[in-house]
Structure 1
Amino acid sequence: MTTQPAARIDVLPLTPLQEGLLFHALYEHERAARDVYLVQLVFELDGAVDPDRLRAAAQALLDRHPTLRA
């Protein structure tokens, strides 16, 4: 089984805010500190979950909004 390379997409320049976040992340990395801008979310789902439908919904969201893939 061979895998196909991912389709190429435009690479956009960083916004000033993204440049600042990158600067701080790299600066803190050199000091072995944790990234103060790291955001993690945890969702708890109640009831029966169809993993295939959930995966398809998440993929549709990413396909529709390229900025969420960044």
Structure 2
Amino acid sequence: MVVQVNGKSNELPENMTIAQLLTHFELDKKVVIVELNEMIIDKDHHANTTIKDGDKLELVQFVGGG
């Protein structure tokens, strides 16, 4: 399936969950806000929310600095 992640097209396996997507991009150990089709998905729902072909995701990480 093809989905957009942060504006770029990505080919991903079918039936991937948000939790699996974060592992795929090595973001599973970081604090990440996930927006799926313009809706923020609570972390408690990452494991059971399946991504579908054509979905648009935004992954936002917090970066420290000053």
**TM-score normalised according to structure 2 size:** 0.22
Q: Which has the larger helix fraction?
A: 1
For CA contacts below 8 A with separation 6 or more, give which structure has more relative contact order. 2
Q: Rg larger in 1 or in 2?
A: 1
**TM-score normalised according to structure 1 size:** 0.22
